């Protein structure tokens, strides 16, 4: 019904402001080229499932992309797929994550990569995340990475150790500018993983040599010997190939700031001599378990779209809705209670949209301008959702209500258009069941198994079943 990539109209003149990690403040957005935006988002390392925390970042980046398009910009979006070089120790120590998973499962690294890449693409599609213009795999761009390392070598920014070719961070004066940390503080943090051959603790691998006693599945010839690229070099090489040596926006999670993105800046600007490489840095905060415990694959605490929403019969777009209720700058917490709240909140919104009927009128300009002001204020999605609710409660005609919220959904991506075509909503979790689940979770944490079983039976008496899994309680309608 709607084309997200549209031209700007006279009424859409509200300036767009984005928080820029590099400057540490909100800035007026101005692209390098008129009405065109180059956007690079750090994609997944495809050795495992992507958890809800990962998905929060992709949702926020999708809102950014949709907002740019809503403002009339043509967005060229590139996302990498890391299928080699990301080691278990982020500072170039340990095993390759793909090779380690392949060995554990008795498969090839290529099979692991293909499998988890497919799952990732399926998951973001379920979340209504618009695919990038280009998915680019690290293993498809080995030549570009080698060429970039050669440029760094020609600029006297590299040195050789027994295990690889490294970037000398002492020769890049602005190293650490993105994280706003002193170089000595970064070096102190880098000493966690010790490599005695490094000149500086913050130096990072551009090319790693294959171990002489181990045959890797993923390795290539290079001017320096048989091996594989470091984790960071792929993003610089591929972004420059598809977006040019300077572009507009680079995105990722906040965990990328002090290491991955800092290293990307050093190697890219070190090779090209052009500053700034990227004009705007966009970073998304963590999604944690209640109490601040990090959701991470490495720690074994994985909550996914499947085991949190889909297997329980609920829409994965409830997770998208949940992510829109908190600024991307703020940490989010996930718990059984927040999951139920998000699911019910999403279903309530969809019910309101469906009640206005299926006839589409005209977009209300006053509400549209209010929505644009909200979303252009550094993606203020909570305010944008509030404007959406105001429209649904307003006195304008149902036809105009529908046209207006469908227009907003070009940014929100909550599936309003599909919802009005569907006749059935997912089952809603009653508040009393949510309260019982919370009480049962506390009983289990206290190891009060009798109370836990009693509450389980009470939940069943209300027409629901609860199953305990490694990812928490799963409740389904009987």
> Which CATH number covers residue 168?
3.40.50.620
Candidate ranges 9-13, 40-44, 90-94, 440-444; pick with highest mean pLDDT: 40-44
Domain extent at residue 258: 17-284
Q: Confidence class of residue 9 from pLDDT cuts 50, 70 and 90?
A: very low
Return the pLDDT at 7.
Answer: 43
pLDDT digits (tens, 9 = 90+) for 341-374: 889 999 999 999 999 999 999 999 999 999 999 9
Percentage of the chain beyond pLDDT 70 is: 91
Nearest CA to 80 out of 63, 61, 100 is that of 61
- Residue 48 domain-assigned (yes or no): yes
What's the CA gap between 319 and 316, in Å, rounded?
Answer: 6
| CB count in 10 Å sphere of residue 301 | 16
Is there a single domain that holds both residue 352 and residue 242?
A: no
What's the CA gap between 162 and 268, in Å, rounded?
Answer: 24
Is there a single domain that holds both residue 78 and residue 192?
A: yes
Give the dihedral of Cα atoms 441, 442, 446, 447; nearest 10 deg: -30
- Residue 305 domain-assigned (yes or no): no
- Residue 476 domain-assigned (yes or no): no
Is there a single domain that holds both residue 78 and residue 150?
A: yes
pLDDT at residue 384 greater than cutoff 60: yes
Return the pLDDT at 4.
Answer: 42
Return the pLDDT at 174.
Answer: 93
Is there a single domain that holds both residue 340 and residue 250?
A: no
Tell which phi-psi region holds residue 292, choosing left (phi > 0), alpha (psi between -120 and 50) or beta: left
Say if CB 91 and CB 193 are below 8 A apart: yes
Return the pLDDT at 451.
Answer: 86
pLDDT digits (tens, 9 = 90+) for 47-78: 999 999 999 999 999 999 999 999 999 999 99
- Residue 55 domain-assigned (yes or no): yes
Return the pLDDT at 190.
Answer: 65
Tokens of 203: 């130096």
pTM: 0.86
**Listed residues 238, 259, 284: the one ending a domain:** 284
- Residue 97 domain-assigned (yes or no): yes
Percentage of the chain beyond pLDDT 90 is: 68
Is there a single domain that holds both residue 223 and residue 95?
A: yes
Is there a single domain that holds both residue 198 and residue 104?
A: yes
- Residue 456 domain-assigned (yes or no): no
pLDDT at residue 206 greater than cutoff 80: yes
Is there a single domain that holds both residue 373 and residue 424?
A: yes
Burial 400-411 (b: 16+ CB within 10 A, else e): bbbbbbbbbbbb
Nearest CA to 340 out of 462, 446, 472 is that of 472
Return the pLDDT at 322.
Answer: 95
What's the CA gap between 295 and 331, in Å, rounded?
Answer: 12
More confident residue, 242 or 471: 242
Q: What is the CATH number of the domain that holds 375?
A: 1.20.120.1910
pLDDT at residue 82 greater than cutoff 60: yes
Q: Confidence class of residue 428 from pLDDT cuts 50, 70 and 90?
A: low
Kindly list the distances between the CA atom of residue 334 and the CA atoms of 49, 308, 347, 460, 470, in Å, as whole numbers in the listed order: 17, 11, 18, 24, 15
Is there a single domain that holds both residue 157 and residue 262?
A: yes
Is there a single domain that holds both residue 166 and residue 228?
A: yes
How confident is the model over 414-420, as a mean pLDDT? 92
Is there a single domain that holds both residue 243 and residue 377?
A: no
Return the pLDDT at 189.
Answer: 62
**Listed residues 413, 429, 445: the one ending a domain:** 429
Say if CB 182 and CB 142 are below 8 A apart: no
Residue 133 backbone phi and psi in degrees, to 5: -65, -35
pLDDT digits (tens, 9 = 90+) for 115-170: 999 999 999 999 999 999 999 999 999 999 999 999 999 999 999 999 999 999 99
What's the CA gap between 368 and 279, in Å, rounded?
Answer: 29
Kindly list the distances between the CA atom of residue 32 and the CA atoms of 112, 193, 269, 304, in Å, as whole numbers in the listed order: 38, 39, 17, 37
What's the CA gap between 118 and 104, in Å, rounded?
Answer: 20
pLDDT at residue 266 greater than cutoff 70: yes
Is there a single domain that holds both residue 51 and residue 154?
A: yes
- Residue 370 domain-assigned (yes or no): yes
Is there a single domain that holds both residue 185 and residue 330?
A: no
Q: Is 141 exposed, middle or buried (0-12, 13-18, 19+ CB in 10 A)?
A: buried
Q: Looking at 36-40, 97-101, 235-239, which range is the least confident one?
A: 97-101
Total structural domains in the chain? 2
- Residue 151 domain-assigned (yes or no): yes
């Amino acid at each position: 019904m709607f084309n997200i990539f549209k031209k700007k109209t006279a009424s859409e003149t509200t300036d767009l402001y984005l928080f820029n990690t590099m400057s540490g403040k909100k800035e007026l957005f101005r692209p390098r080229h008129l009405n065109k935006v180059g956007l690079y988002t750090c994609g997944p390392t495809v050795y495992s499932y992507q958890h809800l925390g990962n998905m929060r970042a992709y949702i926020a980046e999708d809102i950014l992309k949709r907002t740019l398009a809503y403002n009339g910009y043509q967005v060229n979006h590139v996302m990498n797929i890391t299928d080699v070089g990301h080691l278990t120790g982020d500072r170039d120590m340990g095993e390759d994550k793909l090779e380690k998973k392949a060995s554990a499962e008795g498969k090839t690294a290529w099979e692991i990569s293909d499998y988890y890449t497919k799952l990732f693409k399926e998951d973001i599609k379920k979340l209504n995340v618009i695919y990038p213009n280009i998915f680019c795999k690290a293993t498809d761009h080995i030549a570009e990475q080698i060429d970039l390392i050669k440029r760094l070598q020609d600029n006297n920014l590299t040195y050789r150790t027994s295990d690889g070719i490294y970037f000398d961070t002492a020769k890049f004066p602005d190293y650490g500018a993105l994280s706003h940390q002193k170089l000595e503080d970064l070096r102190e943090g880098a000493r966690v993983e010790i490599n005695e051959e490094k000149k500086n603790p913050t130096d990072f691998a551009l090319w790693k040599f294959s171990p002489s006693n181990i045959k890797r599945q993923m390795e290539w010839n290079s001017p320096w010997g048989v091996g594989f690229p470091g984790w960071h070099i792929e993003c610089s090489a591929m972004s420059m190939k598809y977006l040019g040596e300077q572009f507009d926006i680079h995105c990722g999670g906040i965990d990328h700031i002090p290491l991955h993105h800092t290293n990307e800046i050093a190697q890219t600007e070190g090779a090209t001599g052009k500053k700034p490489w990227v004009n705007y840095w966009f970073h998304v905060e963590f999604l944690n378990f209640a109490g601040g415990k990090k959701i991470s694959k490495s720690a074994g605490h994985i909550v996914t779209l499947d085991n949190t929403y889909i297997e329980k019969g609920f829409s994965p777009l409830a997770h998208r809705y949940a992510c829109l209720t908190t600024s991307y700058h703020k940490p989010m917490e996930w718990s059984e209670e927040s999951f139920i709240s998000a699911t019910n909140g999403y279903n309530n919104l969809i019910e309101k949209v469906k009640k206005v009927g299926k006839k589409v009128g005209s977009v209300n300009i006053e509400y549209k301008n209010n929505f644009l002001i909200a979303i252009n204020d550094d993606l203020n999605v909570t305010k944008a959702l509030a404007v959406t609710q105001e429209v649904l409660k307003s006195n304008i005609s149902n036809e105009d209500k529908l046209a207006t919220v469908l227009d907003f959904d070009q940014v929100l991506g909550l599936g309003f258009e599909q919802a009005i075509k569907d006749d059935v909503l997912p089952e809603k979790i009653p508040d009393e069941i949510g309260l019982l689940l919370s009480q049962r979770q506390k009983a289990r944490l206290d190891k009060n198994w009798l109370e836990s079983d009693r509450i389980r039976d009470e939940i069943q008496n209300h027409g629901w079943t609860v199953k305990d899994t490694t990812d928490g309680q799963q409740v389904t309608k009987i």
